[in-house]
Chain A
Amino acid sequence: MDDLSDLYQDIILSHNKHPHNEGDLDPHTGVAEGFNPLCGDRLKVYLRQAEQGKGNVEAVTFTGEGCAISKASASIMTSAVKGLSADEIEAKVEEVVALLTAQDEPEIDLMTMGDLAALAGVRKFPARIKCATLAWHALLAALKDESAVSTEADG
């Protein structure tokens, strides 16, 4: 596959067309908007725990305007983090960010990563990495119910 079809894999295109868990979440215990000032894209991530900051995440949804990469990444994320604890989610975000920014071809265990593996193609397009990380940063902020986060904050 060439780099472009690595980026726009069928999994990405399909999530873009038919995103999972798109919409508001009512009730929710946390919500945050991720904003990329470079392109103007906004994604809002909602999540529900037993109570704010406690217990495993029962549901995650997202709304907003974004490119195929940011939308697919958000869609894949909502399924990938469901049922995880806050610590597990933080580890998962680190894992995804490492995958997206890896210098060398990352080793991917398809069994454990599932659809997340489809995001690996983004690393060859540095201009698009922030599209892919937008939802994940919003998720971390939503865990803390921090309302807003920008891709351009503190570098």
Chain B
Amino acid sequence: MNIAAVRSDFPILSREVSGKPLVYLDNGATTQKPCAVIDKISRFFEYENSNIHRGVHYLSMDATDQYDRARLRLAEMIHAPDTNEVIFVRGTTEAINLVANSYGERLQEGDEILLTLMEHHANIVPWQMLAERKGLVIRVAGITETGELDLDDFTAKLSEKTKIAAFTQVSNALGTINPVKELTRLAKEKGAMVLVDGAQAVPHLQVDVQDIGCDFYAFSSHKMFGPDGVGVLWGKQEWLNSMPPYQGGGDMIEQVSFAGTTYRGIPERFEAGTPNISGAIGLGAAVDYLNQIGHAEIERYEKELLDYATAAMSEIEGLNIHGRAENKVGVISFTLDGIHPHDIGTILDTEGVAIRAGHHCAQPLMDHLKISGTARASFAFYNTQEEADTLVAAIRKVQKMFA
């Protein structure tokens, strides 16, 4: 991978913040966009914009064609057996809400949902809302000292009552990569439906939903170098076909009359209203871009970068890294003795270093770690070892100010 060439694909990386070169290490929150994506969206609005699935005119047919091709790209990316199993949604949050509301209808009072302690609020709250509505029980699998999922606890909390197991592939707050294939197998043994939150996995890892064996897989475009406001729910068609629509409206119907309405098949039945057309097309361009670089190359480069940054940060006295799993993506969550994460974030910002400070929408995890939050540096394949050095120097400046 030619890092200089890669960086020049992302125009924002050459700007300055606070008079210093931007060091963007908040990729866990959202990633930057390459020209390939920006230009694709610009071109769409400048030259190709139209609604899909309705016009008989050229532009509408072209837009429909591009939207469908984006769906195909996404299906290929995650190795979906059928393109129609890819539903475009607003993002991971909507994807999980869709499953909780639609698939969740079949659950009965007393049924159990198994989550883990390292879930993002997006993979907690929709299930809590469902549980409250239907009188379900939510169980939570714990984690180990190093921030890995406690497999024994996960297994112990599974039973015939477990109807849904929902867990993240990669922890946004700790960087831990969960053994999703193994977790899926365990949950399936008990007959549970499995949803995997892939939001933090898709920018870093090669994903194969058939290999994982899960029933649903959810992710967001904006965390994988595409535009915001769009994402994907992949689901096995046997489920999707048997689920009631999540929202009603145009595009998802076959025939509407006041006597009754019939719905279309998948994917349209779950895409009511005009979708985020430019977003989906932009996301398709992001997939093309990632394929050009190559997932294997991205994984190799990021592992090296993570090891380098972890080693450099471990040398700082008074710095604690939260999450030391053996399998991690480029996320380093840390605290400094006696210094609040927000103060770290503000001071780093004046050095041009953008990180996230706070609870990372994972308050149950923070409560477990007995901290109010962490500072989190999250890397992407366009970050460099020099940027890790800048981060380390900026952290030392924070410590000096608070000495």
Contact = CB atoms under 8 A, between A and B. Distances in A.
Interface of A: 2-4, 7-8, 13, 16, 38-42, 65-69, 71, 125, 127-128, 131
Contact of A13 (B346, B372, B401): B401
B358 interface: yes
5 contacts: A4-B347, A39-B342, A40-B358, A40-B372, A71-B340
Contacts of A7: 346
Given A68-B343, A69-B343, A40 B359 contact: yes
A18 B357 CA distance: 23
A131 B402 contact: no
Contact of A65 (B343, B363, B372, B401): B372
Contact of A38 (B339, B358, B366, B402): B358
B363 A68 contact: no
A69 B401 CA distance: 14
B246 to A, nearest CB: 27
Interface residues on chain B, size class: 10 to 19
Interface of B: 339-343, 346-347, 350, 357-359, 363, 366, 372-373, 401-402
A125 to B, nearest CB: 6
Given A7-B346, A69-B343, A71-B340, 7 more contacts: A3-B350, A4-B346, A8-B347, A40-B366, A40-B373, A67-B340, A67-B341
Contacts of B342: 39, 41, 67, 69, 128, 131
A39 B401 contact: no
A131 B366 CA distance: 19
A8 B350 CA distance: 12
Nearest to B403: A13
A87 B214 CA distance: 61
Nearest 4 pairs of A and B residues by beta carbon: A67-B340, A67-B342, A40-B359, A65-B372
Contacts of A66: 340, 372
A118 to B, nearest CB: 15
Nearest to B357: A39
B372 A41 contact: yes
Contacts of A40: 358-359, 363, 366, 372-373
Nearest to B359: A40
A125 B345 CA distance: 12
A104 B363 CA distance: 37
A13 B402 contact: yes
Nearest to A128: B346
A16 B403 CA distance: 12
Contacts of B372: 39-42, 65-66
Contacts of A41: 342, 372
A8 B358 contact: no
B97 to A, nearest CB: 20
Contacts of A127: 346
Nearest to B342: A67
B121 to A, nearest CB: 11
Nearest to B351: A4
A39 B359 contact: yes
Contacts of B358: 38-40
B340 A4 contact: no
A68 B401 CA distance: 12
A38 B121 CA distance: 13
A151 to B, nearest CB: 13
A68 B343 CA distance: 7
Q: Which of the listed residues A4, A16, A131 has the most CB atoms from chain B within 10 Å of its own CB?
A: A4
Contacts of B359: 39-40
A125 B348 CA distance: 13
Contacts of B366: 40
A74 B366 CA distance: 24
Contacts of A38: 358
A68 B346 CA distance: 11
B354 to A, nearest CB: 12
Nearest to B367: A40
A66 to B, nearest CB: 7
Nearest to B345: A127
Nearest to A68: B343
Nearest to A40: B359
A75 B341 CA distance: 19
Q: Which of the listed residues A41, A65, A69, A131 has the most CB atoms from chain B within 10 Å of its own CB?
A: A41
Contacts of A3: 350
B357 A8 contact: no
B393 to A, nearest CB: 15
B20 to A, nearest CB: 12
Nearest to A8: B401
A125 B346 contact: yes
Contacts of A16: 402
